[in-house]
Amino acid sequence: MAIAATEPTSVRSFGPGTALSCRECGQRYELTPKFACEFCFGPLEVAYDFGTVTREEIESGPNNIWRYRSLLPVPTNVAELPNMNPGLTPLVRADRLAAELGFDSLHVKDDSGNPTHSFKDRVVAIAVEAARTFGFTTLSCSSTGNLAGAVGAAAARAGFESCVFIPAGLEEAKVVMAAVYGGKVVAIDGNYDDVNRFCSELIGDPVGEGWGFVNVNLRPYYGEGSKTLAYEIAEQLGWRLPEQIVIPIASGSQLTKIDKGFQELIKLGLVEDRPYKIFGAQATGCSPVAKAWEEGHDVIQPVKPDTIAKSLAIGNPADGPYVLDIAKRTGGSVEHVGDDEVVDAIRLLARTEGVFAETAGGVTTGVLRKLVREGRIDTKAETVVLNTGDGLKTLNAVDAGVTATVKPTLAAFTAAGLA
């Protein structure tokens, strides 16, 4: 049911969230499991009435994303409810990588430290609270792997049934991680876009009754979890925004929500309003947004993914046009790198900073290096690059092994040329 733009709802279990708002036409709706506008089919997102929020209030909160609960659509007692408590992952000062690439100040936001070793725990945590409020009994999703694991774990902790859908042929580690929590894992013979379409059909069918699909009918709430990356980066930098940030693009939602988080911090007076540039990163084998950027288009032409960066392999990214808008508005860009560059960048990050990134982290680091090589990023500006997952999930992407095998004697070690 549509509501007037100025009419608040009486639902307070969503904290400061007051309504769902269409990003295209501005039409507002009650806070329900709705994800598309009835009038223009635009995506819906949560609108807020924040009131007063202070740095002191945030800093006195728990050491996870719930320290930002006054900026999220969750109940005020969310930290007391059974959940995975993700967030507050390290912002690594990457001096050795900075020296190699020529930056004055460079940080890696390493989200592999989350409970299931990817940033997806952030978004799922918000979706779980929405599912609880709406009375869903089964937690579900369409996934390229990381989300499936996060949903399986969160469902187990919170007491939901779970059933996740993935494309056939995903990395073995991601499949095991999704399945170990005891829920159903269903592989679909197709790519991610096929999986997502199937999940949309389930929502409209009696079979899907009582199911909360975290990235479909709960998507407006789920997406807000990515804002916590923006909040944490700003707080960890001493309550200031980075001048430049490189973010991977799958659906594009993470990038748009980090921008939304930065804008909220500015409006609330929690950080100084200063310019920042956002750079999007894709793998060449699935780079519809980067291609649109290169060609100067405002629309995204879907592609069939073919890349080792499977967590970014979404051929028809829903937020692609919004990513283009943000890159233009902030003075950034959208770039892509090939699979060989992705692997080389994984090694570079591991060798210089001890951070073992999954392929998506190789994409962002690879794009960062490409931007430097082509002189299209300011190496004097404070810069953050995102690693969104753990390299242990994508071991097959990197060919690495022992340096040598020797007998347990000093003589053998020396003879092998290792001393």
* Domain 91-117+223-397 fold: Rossmann fold (3.40.50)
- In one-letter notation, the amino acid at residue 238 is G
Across the range 260-286, mean pLDDT stands at 98
Across the range 211-226, mean pLDDT stands at 96
Which tokens hold the place of 232? Answer: 């944490």
Q: What is the pLDDT of residue 207?
A: 84
Across the range 350-355, mean pLDDT stands at 98
Q: What is the pLDDT of residue 11?
A: 43
Is a pLDDT exceeding 90 seen at residue 208? no
Is a pLDDT exceeding 50 seen at residue 4? no
317, 43 in Cβ contact below 8 A? no
pLDDT (tens digit per residue) in 97-118: 999 999 999 999 999 999 999 9
pLDDT range class, residue 12, cuts 50, 70, 90: low
384 pairs with which residues across the strands? Answer: 107, 245
pLDDT (tens digit per residue) in 140-162: 999 989 999 999 999 999 999 99
Q: What is the DSSP string of 150-207?
A: HHHHHHHHHT-EEEEEEETT--HHHHHHHHTTSSEEEEESS-HHHHHHHHHHHHTSGG
**What does pTM read for this prediction?**
0.94
Q: How far apart are CA 232 and CA 227, in angstroms?
A: 9
| Greatest extent of the chain over all pairs of C-alpha atoms, in Å | 82
Is a pLDDT exceeding 50 seen at residue 259? yes
Q: Give the chain's mean pLDDT.
A: 94
Q: Give the angle subtended at the CA of 143 by the CAs of 205 and 201, to the nearest 5°.
A: 15
Helix H or strand E encompassing 321: helix 320-330
Across the range 42-68, mean pLDDT stands at 97
pLDDT (tens digit per residue) in 306-319: 999 999 999 999 99
- Looking at per-residue pLDDT, the higher value among 417 and 9 belongs to 417
Q: What is the pLDDT of residue 171?
A: 87
Q: What is the pLDDT of residue 193?
A: 87
Q: How far apart are CA 97 and CA 306, in angstroms?
A: 29
Across the range 55-62, mean pLDDT stands at 98
Domain positions in the chain are 17-74, 91-117+223-397, 119-219
155, 161 in Cβ contact below 8 A? yes
Q: What is the pLDDT of residue 2?
A: 46
184, 162 in Cβ contact below 8 A? yes
Nearest Cα residue to 344 out of 314, 381, 308, 376: 308
Q: What is the pLDDT of residue 3?
A: 45
Q: What is the pLDDT of residue 6?
A: 36
Question: Is 119-219 in the same CATH topology as 91-117+223-397?
Answer: yes
The side-by-side arrangement of strands in the sheet containing 333-337 is 91-93, 106-110, 383-387, 244-248, 277-283, 333-337
3-state DSSP percent of the chain in helix, strand and coil, to 5: 40, 15, 40
Across the range 376-396, mean pLDDT stands at 96
> What secondary structure, in 3-state letters, does 299-319 show?
CCCCCCCCCCCHHHCCCCCCC
pLDDT range class, residue 203, cuts 50, 70, 90: confident
Main-chain dihedrals φ then ψ at residue 253, nearest 5 degrees: -65, -40
Q: How far apart are CA 307 and CA 304, in angstroms?
A: 10
Across the range 273-290, mean pLDDT stands at 98
Q: How far is CA 46 from CA 256, 282, 320, in A?
A: 13, 27, 19
* Domain 119-219 fold: Rossmann fold (3.40.50)
Is a pLDDT exceeding 70 seen at residue 238? yes
